[in-house]
Amino acid sequence: MLSKTVAELSAALDRKDVSSVELTQAYLDRIEKLNPDLNAYITVCKEQALKQAAEADKQRAAGNGTPFTGIPIAHKDIFCTRDVLTTCGSRMLHNFVSPYDASVVERLQQAGAVTLGKTNMDEFAMGSSNETSYYGPVRNPWDSSRVPGGSSGGSAAAVAADMCAIATGTDTGGSIRQPASFCGITGLKPTYGRVSRFGMIAFASSLDQAGPLSKSAEDAALMMNAIAGLDSRDSTSLDHPAEDFTAHLQQSLKGLRIGLPRDHFTADLNPAVQTILQDAIKVLESLGASVTEVDLPHNHLSVPAYYVVAPAEASANLSRYDGVRFGHRAENPVNLEDLYKRSRSEGFGDEVKRRIMVGTYALSAGYYDAYYKKAQKIRRLIKQDFDEAFKSVDVILGPTSPHTAFKLGEKNADPVTMYLEDIYTIAVNLAGIPGMSLPAGMLQGLPIGMQLVGPAFSEARLLNVAHQFQLNTDWHQRRPEVK
């Protein structure tokens, strides 16, 4: 039962095969059993979840159900949850009980979802392996000596290990897609501005976007229906007509034009991953899609440009943590500067401090043109590359990550090595367009994801392609054997 999709669980709740209280209790039991090893959750909301489940059972019985009524979900610990600890993976917020709910949390609650708890993540979403969390690394359910990816690693591991039905995540440079790839699940980063950022702790405001980590493309579509749409409390939220993201799932792929970026399929990409992607492409071709090559000539500049834009915005966003109004405060400060400096130095981990300093440097007097402005210019070139490619193709297909999940400790000696992990995902954030990762195969017992990227507002089309692929393959149904 716990491995079922949201769509399947919703039908089971409707048929009264199971109640939400029973389902919630079963997930809570599994969390209790697995979390000591996997460390996917920072906080488990046992009592609140059972209360919400009982209420959801009443609502469904009264005929007031939505697809999410009574479905046990998890939120990345970057989303503020009223009266529940919200740490963002940081010591800085080890005592932060949020006074309000994020819009994403509020909308899913209104849809009747049951919140099981808050998932572990890289500190302030800065990382690609979940190793920067103050609360310890998350372990990959497929192999506990490996990382789950990051920064939404706790959400990805929780979905893959059936510790929730579906989870929320955020993606600033690949933080939904790369962990989805490493854990063998489906993850969608929507168009920038499609999902409200209100109450989502800010990392890089011009790149951050929330989205689902799920067991199927259909589930991702269901969650998008619940969370997407204009929010007056987020000034960058887009006023785009509402749509039913499940409406086109059944559409045929006849005539679909797929572009393969020449620079993604080079010697740098593991040959076994190439073979897996070629097999996936054959499946899509057999469903009526055609394939051509496309060029993204500035993709190699996406990581350098990102590591100016993201740290610069982070250095501004994280200036709010000063030990005065909330969060960690150093003991016995001798003066105000000492209060700021010690609270921040004790509260932040090494990677967060590094990025704040890189951003502070890039924005400091005399360097703005050489760094932030230059990066914004490259951002436009990257966006134009995608615009050009989408004149001849509907979606772009490539790898999500150059390889399968790596070992804990393998890549955290040098920050730049870790940054290059996101070489295939970062350009999508810089361009503001939607991208998703879905399971495409297995390599030595570990899942491999493929990435689909489309023009702005093409989420429904991406979900359609992913759903049709999942109707004809079973990679997304593979589950790790977790003891």
263 touching another protein, by CB under 8 A: no
Q: Which of 4, 215, 379, 411 binds another protein (CB under 8 A)?
A: 379
Catalytic residue among 98, 103, 128, 151: 151
Give the one residue of 97, 252, 279, 407 binding another protein; rule: CB under 8 A: 97
432 near another protein (CB under 8 A): yes
Q: How far is CA 40 from the centre of its chain?
A: 14
Is there a catalytic annotation at residue 151? yes
Alpha carbon of 291 to those of 148, 154, 160, 257, 402: distances in Å?
A: 31, 35, 31, 6, 21
149 interacts with another protein by CB under 8 A = no
Q: Are 459 and 453 in contact (CB under 8 A)?
A: no
Residue 202 interacting with another protein (CB under 8 A): no
Instruction: Indicate whether 339 belongs to the interface with another protein (CB under 8 A).
Output: yes
Rounded to 10 degrees, the C-alpha dihedral 106/112/118/123 comes to -40
**Annotated catalytic residue within 4, 76, 189, 215:** 76
232 counts as catalytic: no
List the interface residues with another protein, window 451-470 (CB under 8 A): 456
Cα–Cα distance measured from residue 413 to residue 401, given in angstroms and rounded to the nearest whole number: 19
Identify the DSSP state of 300.
G
Nearest alpha-carbon partner for 397 in 231, 279, 297: 279
Q: Which is nearer to another protein, 218 or 421 (CB)?
A: 421
Considering only 395, 431, 438, 448, the residue that binds another protein (CB under 8 A) is 431
Binding mask 157-176 for another protein (x = CB under 8 A): --------------------
Which x/- pattern over 203-242 shows residues binding another protein (rule: CB under 8 A)?
---x-------------------------x--xx-xx---
Q: Is 19 a catalytic residue?
A: no
Provide the minimum distance between the beta carbon of 50 and another protein in the complex, in angstroms, as a whole number.
26
Q: Which is nearer to another protein, 341 or 403 (CB)?
A: 341
Positions in 395-414 near another protein (CB under 8 A)? 414
Residue in 350, 435, 407, 356 with CA at minimum distance from that of residue 175: 435
Single-letter amino acid code for the residue at 187: G
Beta-bridge partners for 447: 442
Our finding on whether 368 is near another protein (CB under 8 A) is: no
Q: Do residues 42 and 98 touch, judged by C-beta distance below 8 A?
A: no
Nearer Cβ to another protein (355/467): 355
Task: For the segment 274-313, give every residue that binds another protein (CB under 8 A).
Answer: 298, 300-301, 303-305, 307-308
Among the listed residues 213, 230, 231, 371, the one whose alpha carbon sits nearest the alpha carbon of residue 305: 371
Closest among 204, 123, 125, 261 to 379, alpha carbons compared: 204
Residues annotated as part of the active site: 76, 151, 175
